[in-house]
């Protein structure tokens, strides 16, 4: 397989972009991009497709830092503690840290959904898949569809508790850095400022 499919891992991989709601459903999945493809490029493709990703009016998606701050997409602050295991007994010191902590707490939903998906469908972790690549893409989408169908009646045994989740480094990308939209950058800062003010005034975490 082409080198473009070999990302941070030594074996071939594909970059899969997915949107997950708080019920752990996959609401959008775009599979098939090469493993080295920048997240921002995959997002652009998803938005430009005729039946691609659409953001509900007045809402925005929480995304990894690799996507950059774009209209309707809110990433964490770069260069600031983010992952829950980085905090330990060290309390937040400023508004950006507080915003990142709460961003990370919400994005645990994505980790739980993907953790369940991979535990149920071991084929997704196969480093040397037998199937041709178009079939591999179909398998990813099919697994997400079946996942949604299975959990429609509630949580099952494949879901992991938050403290048992693997640690992923979503704050880095394979190469480069996504451009950011000034309006969304300012919006993120305003959210952080308000969170910090509320915390100071009400002494809440």
Residue-wise pLDDT tens digits, 94-112: 999 999 999 999 999 998 9
- Residue 149: inside a domain, yes or no? yes
Rg of the chain (C-alpha set)? 18
Report the share of the chain in percent with pLDDT over 90. Answer: 49
As for how many domains the chain has, the answer is: 1
Distances (CA, A) of 45 to 51, 53, 54, 95: 11, 9, 12, 33
Q: What's the mean per-residue pLDDT of the chain? A: 83
Give domain status of residue 185, yes or no: yes
Quick: pLDDT tens for 71-85: 999 999 999 998 877
Q: Is residue 43 domain-resident?
A: no
Range of the structural domain that residue 196 is part of: 56-202
Q: Please indicate, yes or no, if residue 34 is contained in any of the structural domains.
A: no
**Would the pLDDT of 6 be above 70?**
no
Tell me if 37 is assigned to some domain: no
pLDDT at position 128 over 70: no
Q: Does any domain span residue 130?
A: yes
- Note whether 66 and 172 are within 8 A (CB): yes
Residue 153 lies in a domain: yes
> What pLDDT does residue 66 have?
86
Asked if residue 193 belongs to a domain, the reply is: yes
Q: Measure CA of the first residue to CA of the last residue in the chain; give whole Å.
A: 48
Task: Calculate mean pLDDT across residues 9-17.
Answer: 74
């Amino acid at each position: 397989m082409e080198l473009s499919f070999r990302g941070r891992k030594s074996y071939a991989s594909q970059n899969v972009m997915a949107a997950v709601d708080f019920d752990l459903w996959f609401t959008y999945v775009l599979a098939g991009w090469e493993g080295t493809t920048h997240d921002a490029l995959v997002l652009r493709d998803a938005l430009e497709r005729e039946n691609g990703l659409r953001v509900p009016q007045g809402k925005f998606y929480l995304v990894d830092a690799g996507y950059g701050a774009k209209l309707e997409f809110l990433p964490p602050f770069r260069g600031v503690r983010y992952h829950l295991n980085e905090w330990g007994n060290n309390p937040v010191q400023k508004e950006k840290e507080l915003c990142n902590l709460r961003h990370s707490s919400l994005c645990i939903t994505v980790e739980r959904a993907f953790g369940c998906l991979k535990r149920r469908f071991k084929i997704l972790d196969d480093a040397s898949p037998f199937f041709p690549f178009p079939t591999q893409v179909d398998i990813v989408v099919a697994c997400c569809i079946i996942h949604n169908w299975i959990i429609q009646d509630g949580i099952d045994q494949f879901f992991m508790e938050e403290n048992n989740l693997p640690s992923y480094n979503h704050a880095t990308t394979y190469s480069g850095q996504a451009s950011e939209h000034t309006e969304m950058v300012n919006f993120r800062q305003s959210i952080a400022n308000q969170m910090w003010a509320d915390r100071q005034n009400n002494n809440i975490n």
